[in-house]
Structure 1
Amino acid sequence: MFQTHVPSFPPAQQAQIIRAHQRDLIHVSSLREQTDNILRSWFGTRWLTRFDKEVELCVRLVYEALTTGRVIQTLGEEYTNTWVHPKWARSPRIRAALILLPIIPPYILTRLGPSLYARCPRSKGIANAAVNALEVAGEVNLALFYISGVYYRLVRRLLGVPHISATPIDPNTRPPSYSLLGILILVRIGYRLLNYFRARSPPPALSIVDEKSPSADNSDEAQLDGRPVSTLLNYDPEADLASSDEKGDLTILDLETVPGSVRASRTCTLCLEERTATCVTECGHLFDWNCIYSWGREKAECPLCRQSLNLTKLLPIYNL
């Protein structure tokens, strides 16, 4: 009887895994851009801005379902001639975990997080701690990948799902090493943890100076933004920010005396809330500064008229 020889494939190299991941990001970004253009032409910019998280969720789920879900290579894996080891790829549970775990938890935290914070204020600190822990875990996994060469994503490391390659290893060629990048990432993580523990440690006791003492009236006292440092010790920035929206030093407009119908026209078309830092684009449309700046970093065009948008030419308007 003839014995069938089952070929063994070498593990994918670091460069192959990195290129595959980059190609997948490019294809997902292209698919997202085309989907945005279609939905914008159908439902408008407001609808797309309101449901941008859901659109991103659907695009990523469709891409992963049509590739990993069907036990075929992604476009990035096909480009680098790599794929998931068949031992794990045949398991429906493993495939579902590879698709859902990197996508669903971030969506829940970004979309449902604000509503949960409003109902239970204590959950905000827990959720922020969970997000920070996931970010640190992802960076640690990336550093370990650069050092060891396997498991580019944290989910694959947790599930133990490696990549294999159909390209034979050339014994005469030394593959590139990314160990230095992994060490630098670990150093950065250690520095961030050190700053975190320093911030959590109690500050040193400050000696309280009497306002009537001669040292309080010293004209040589250090100043910050034109204010003496002693006046900033009990400064509440949130109270100042809340009052600046209604009665700021940079505007003569008292919004408390403006009728409600007029204030309704001051709504930003991106966030659908009242503008607090109005700015105008070159095409003459008014937006909230944070909204249009965030929009312009992603897409350099006006969300209303589609004209080119230059963030360096945004003009602030204080009385409108």
Structure 2
Amino acid sequence: MQYNRTLKAEIIRCVQKDLTYTNELSADMSELLQLTGPRNWIRYNHMINLLSQIVYHGFASLQNLQTLGEEYTGIFQIDNKQISIPSKLLRLTATILEFGGEQLYIKLLNDLEKSVIENKEILPEAKIKIRTTIQFMIGSIPYIKAFHKGIFYYFTSSTKYHISKRITGIRYVHIRNWLKPEYSLYGYKFLGTLTLLQLAVSILLKLYSVFKEKNDKNLQDHFTKSTSHLLQKSFDSHTSQIPKCTLCLETRKNTSLTPCGHIFCWDCILEWLDEKDECPLCRDKISKSSIVPLQNFL
């Protein structure tokens, strides 16, 4: 109990410490990218954070070294058998899975969906089911991550904060745990309980939304038999083509672009940044000075 009590806290401190260093590295790399011109900065800046994470953790993996966060907290990576340190390939695989695995997973599913759509030998009914399954797999990612984090916080024996560590079997051990204070696990259990409850509520709300959407669709299909509804449907189709801001849900005004590639109204995104310095959609760190107004763009 004392071992896990200390280790769980130090893993979280390690993650926070490494995040501080990677954010600093990301900021430095972004400034270097700006020297190549604003066009390249807008095009490639969204990749800087991923690149900085892979460079930082990849260097430690290839050199069989602790990260600065691991060294600071006194923890070390070992293989699942707990008899030796992980191989360079295993550590590098865990790094790629942790910071690029989600993007790779989504890209593979999108490519699969595209190939299914273009395949003329697949029946239309089968295409619809396959595409629904693929969209379900993509949409389930946030719920899987939340469930994994809830398990980490709630269960005393769980010390794998990252999903990549669970996949590769990499574990953490203390190399100087006798110097560490004893932490209480009740706070983690409470946080894990809240995380799992929030996940359950989110799933219920999602199911309700899908159920309601299905009922609305059935109702809409019923009314499409009338001429008046056909006219209304044509009008709705024309209206839906007008680009809208995801913040105010109105037609975009003074269209503006974030460094991560998302588009909002100029006033909407600036008001958002007054409250949080992150993109409303992907949560990348952004600032007001990085917002670019787009001319002659709807």
TM-score above 0.5: yes
1:247-276 per-residue CA deviation (whole Å, 9 max, x = no partner) reads: xx999xxxxxxxxxxxxxx997779x9x99
| Mapped partners of 2:171, 2:235: distance in 1 | 52
Secondary structure of 1:73 counterpart:
coil
* Paired letter, 1:136: Y
* 1:1-320 aligned within 5 A: 10=3, 13-41=7-35, 43-85=36-78, 87=83, 89-108=85-104, 121=117, 125-149=132-156, 150-168=159-177, 173=182, 175-177=184-186, 178-201=188-211, 202-203=214-215, 239-243=238-242, 298-302=286-290
In 2, distance between residues paired with 1:196 and 1:29?
Answer: 33
Extract unaligned runs of 5+ from structure 1. 1-9, 210-229, 252-265, 283-290, 305-313
Cα distance change of structure 1 residues 51 and 132 upon mapping to structure 2, 3 Å threshold? same
Compared CA separation, residues 78 and 295, structure 1 to 2 (3 A): closer
- Aligned residue pairs total 254
Identity %: 17
Look up the equivalent residue of 2:162 and give its one-letter code: R
Aligned to 1:151, the other structure's residue is in SS state coil
- CA–CA distance in structure 2, aligned partners of residues 292 and 136 of structure 1: 19
Q: How many Å separate the matches in 2 of 1:130 and 1:143?
A: 20
Larger relative helix fraction: 2
Distance 2:182 2:84 in 1: 30
Output the TM-score relative to the length of structure 2.
0.64
User: For the residues of structure 1 that align with 2:148 and 2:142, how far apart are their CA atoms?
Assistant: 10
1:106 CA drift (Å): 2.6
Aligned-partner Cα distance in 1 for 2:269–2:141? 38
Task: Give 1:239 shift.
Answer: 2.8
- Between 1:49-58 and 1:134-143, the stretch displaced more is 49-58
Aligned partner of residue 289 in structure 2, secondary structure = coil
Residues 85 and 161, structure 1, Cα contact 8 Å, conserved in 2: yes
Q: How big is the shift at 1:180?
A: 0.8
Once the 2 structures are TM-superposed, how far is the Cα of residue 197 of structure 1 from its aligned partner?
2.5
- Normalising to structure 1: TM-score of the pair? 0.61
Q: Which has the higher contact order (CA 8 A, sep 6+)?
A: 2
Contact 1:81 1:165 in 2 (8 A): yes
Whether contact under 8 Å (1:140, 1:185) holds in the other structure is yes
Residue-by-residue CA offset, 1:22-61 (whole Å, 9 max, x unaligned): 11111111101100001111x1222122123443332222
